[in-house]
């Protein structure tokens, strides 16, 4: 994002108001536009642009793990010179929500979700085969809710 061009009051309100409470209905962006007194096109175009600029990383609901389908956390020990390559291979799978590097022996971590356990295992097997690396499958034993919303401080 260009730091010389701060968010407009409308952009600020959009991303601040909808960190939580995204309307759960067939046309959520239309409802957001109605509540913000703007157009659905403006909401969609603005969110898309803010994603491209890196202001917004993801748009969508957060669903309690394993309430719809199944998921697991995976850790891999990736040689540093292969980290970008392996992260790219992992990201090609639509079942992968996100991945991130950690300063640890197991340096690449990612979450995989799937409609059922068989699909999840096929995805893990494909990643294992494509990368040639072993992985730790760390299924959730107990869930904890972490509120990912935070106050915004742009001026």
CATH of residue 120: 3.30.70.3460
Same domain, 43 and 84: no
The answer as to whether 1 is a domain residue is: no
Q: Which domain holds residue 114?
A: 70-138
Which residues share a beta bridge with 74?
Answer: 110, 137
The answer as to whether 96 is a domain residue is: yes
Buried b (16+ CB within 10 A) or exposed e, 4-40: eeebeeebeebbeebeeebeeeeebbbbbbeebeeee
Does the annotation count 98 as an active-site position? Answer: yes
Tallying the residues shown for the chain, one arrives at 155
Per-residue pLDDT of the chain (155 residues; tens, 9 = 90+): 445 558 898 998 998 888 877 888 899 999 999 999 999 999 999 999 998 988 887 787 666 666 678 889 999 999 999 999 999 999 999 999 888 899 999 999 999 999 999 999 999 999 999 999 999 999 887 776 666 666 666 55
> What domain count does the chain have?
2
The answer as to whether 62 is a domain residue is: no
The answer as to whether 63 is a domain residue is: no
Whole-prediction pTM value?
A: 0.60
In degrees and rounded to multiples of 5, residue 81 shows phi and psi of -70, -15
Out of 48, 98, 104, 119, which one is annotated catalytic? 98
């Amino acid at each position: 994002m260009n730091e010389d061009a701060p968010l407009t009051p409308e952009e600020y309100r959009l991303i601040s108001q909808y960190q939580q409470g995204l309307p759960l209905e067939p046309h959520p962006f239309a409802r957001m536009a109605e509540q913000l007194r703007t157009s659905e096109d403006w909401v969609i175009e603005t969110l898309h642009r803010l994603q491209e600029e890196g202001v917004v990383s993801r748009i969508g609901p957060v669903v309690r793990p394993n309430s719809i389908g199944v998921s697991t956390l995976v850790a891999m020990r990736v040689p540093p010179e292969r980290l970008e390559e392996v992260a790219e291979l992992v990201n090609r799978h639509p079942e992968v929500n996100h991945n991130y590097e950690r300063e640890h022996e197991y340096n690449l971590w990612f979450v995989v979700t799937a409609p059922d356990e068989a699909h999840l295992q096929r995805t893990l097997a494909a990643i294992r085969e494509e990368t040639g690396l072993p992985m730790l499958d760390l299924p959730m034993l107990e869930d904890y809710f972490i509120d990912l919303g935070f106050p915004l401080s742009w001026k």
